[in-house]
Amino acid sequence: MAAIAAKDEQAAPSGRKGGPLPLLALPLGWMLVFYLIPLALLLVHAFWSVDYLTIDRTFTLENIKAVFTVAPYPAVLIRTLLMAAAVTLTDIAIAFPISWWLAKKVTSHRELLLMLVVFPLWSSYLVRAFAWKTILGTNGILNSFLQTTGITSEPISAFLYSKTGMYITFCHVWLPFMILPLYTILDRLPDTLLEASGDLGGNGWKTFLRVILPLSLPGLLAGSVSVFSLTMGDYITPSLIGGSPGTELIGGIVADQFGVANNWPLGAALILPILAIVIGLLLVANRFGALGRDER
């Protein structure tokens, strides 16, 4: 605990010496060694290549080129982007009513309801993803339900091992990530503002489009970045729920390169577009104050 000594300056009034560096040395050192440097080195891998089982450290752009030209990578990339976009938009649509309801309409047991929304976030992601496998499978709950109730006669195989299945699962597992920031920002919207808009003759939809939507943009963006980024990088759901040809997402392919395929440079190159897109979204979100914390 080298940093303890640093606390000697904690109540440092302006004018007395001592800064935060001794306190921050340990955490920043950790982040540097165990996150930022590994991340940078990973990106460097993208410019290397594999020679049988060893890594050839001569500079090459082959991997990067492969990502955009060699089948199936471009298609997978586009499929992943579309999936992430669809999931994000769906979660926005699902999250808005319940966030609004929680923030503005619920009068009793609000904390409890909020807890209920947050809890799935903390319950195992794997458990929730695999629950969908149980539900969507060919002999699964949904199919046997549809058959016993006579809605269908044959089991529908399109649920599992399909893009539909992945889409449903993604929408479910990431939903709390959208509700939470949205609720937080809606909760802070003063009711008077909405009343004011109503007084000025704005009807429900106009109020929504002109007042609520713009003001909740930071929350929406924060949630969207999370959902988009989580979908882009996931390989658990694709492998559990997807898995048939034509359903691969980029996360699964990256995981393969670092696993069975053992082609780290290609894996690193495939991560580049993911990173670029997520960081791009972060920058956009940041411009709209989505990441902004109260700075003092």
Partner 1 sequence: MAVAKTQPGGRTAADPPSIELRRVRKSFGDFTAVAGVDLTVGQGEFLTLLGPSGCGKTTTLRMIGGFELPSSGEVLIEGAQMGNLPPYRRPVNTVFQNYALFPHLSVGKNVAYGLEMSGVPRGDRERRVREALDLVRLPNVENRRPSELSGGQQQRVALARALVNHPSVLLLDEPLGALDLKLRKAMQLELKHLNREVGATFVYVTHDQEEALTMSDRIAVMNEGRILQLGAPEEIYERPRSRFVADFIGQTNFIECDVLGPDGRFVACRTAGGETIRAIPAVEAPAGGTITVAVRPEKVSLDAEAPGGLSANWNRLTGTLTEVIYLGTHTQLVVALPGEGQIVVHRQNRMLGETEPSTGQQLTVAFDPASATVLAE
Partner 2 sequence: MNIANAIPEPMPAGPKGRKPVWLTVASIITFLFLYLPLVVVVLYSFSATKVNAWPIKGYTLDWYRELFQDEDIWDAVRFSTFIGIVAASIAVVLGTLTAYALDRYRFRGKPLIRFAIGMPIVLPGIVTGVALLAFFTGVLGLNLSRWTIIIGHATFCTVLIVNNVAARLSQLPRSLDEASADLGATPLTTFRRITFPLIRPAIVAGAILAFTLSFDEIVVTFFLTGREKTLPLLIWGRLRRGISPEINAAATVIILVSLVLVLASYWFTRKSETN
Q: Point out which span in 59-67, 106-114, 158-166, 209-217 binds partner 2 (CB under 8 A).
A: 106-114
Among residues 1, 2, 4, 11, the one that binds partner 1 under rule CB under 8 A: 11
CB-CB contact of 142 with 206 (8 Å): no
Count CA within 13 A, CB hemisphere, residue 280: 7
E strand or H helix at 49, and its extent?
strand 49-51
CB-CB contact of 238 with 255 (8 Å): no
Is position 126 an interface residue for partner 2 (rule: CB under 8 A)?
A: yes
Residues in Cβ contact with 88 at an 8 Å cutoff, skipping those fewer than 6 apart = 178, 224, 227, 228, 231
Is position 10 an interface residue for partner 1 (rule: CB under 8 A)?
A: no
Query: Which of partner 1, partner 2, none is residue 70 near (CB under 5 to 8 Å by kind)?
Result: none
Is position 295 an interface residue for partner 2 (rule: CB under 8 A)?
A: yes
Query: Which of partner 2, partner 1, none is residue 16 near (CB under 5 to 8 Å by kind)?
Result: partner 1
Among the listed residues 121, 94, 88, the one whose alpha carbon sits nearest the alpha carbon of residue 228: 88
Is position 13 an interface residue for partner 1 (rule: CB under 8 A)?
A: yes
Kindly tell me the burial class for residue 53, based on how many C-beta atoms sit within 10 Å of its own C-beta (0-12, 13-18, 19 or more).
exposed
Q: Point out which span in 66-74, 134-142, 156-164, 206-214 binds partner 2 (CB under 8 A).
A: 134-142
Is position 154 an interface residue for partner 2 (rule: CB under 8 A)?
A: no
Kindly tell me the burial class for residue 108, based on how many C-beta atoms sit within 10 Å of its own C-beta (0-12, 13-18, 19 or more).
exposed
Segment 91-130, which members bind partner 1 (CB under 8 A)? none
Instruction: Give the residue with the Cβ less far from partner 1, 14 or 149.
Output: 14
Among residues 14, 54, 107, 108, the one that binds partner 1 under rule CB under 8 A: 14
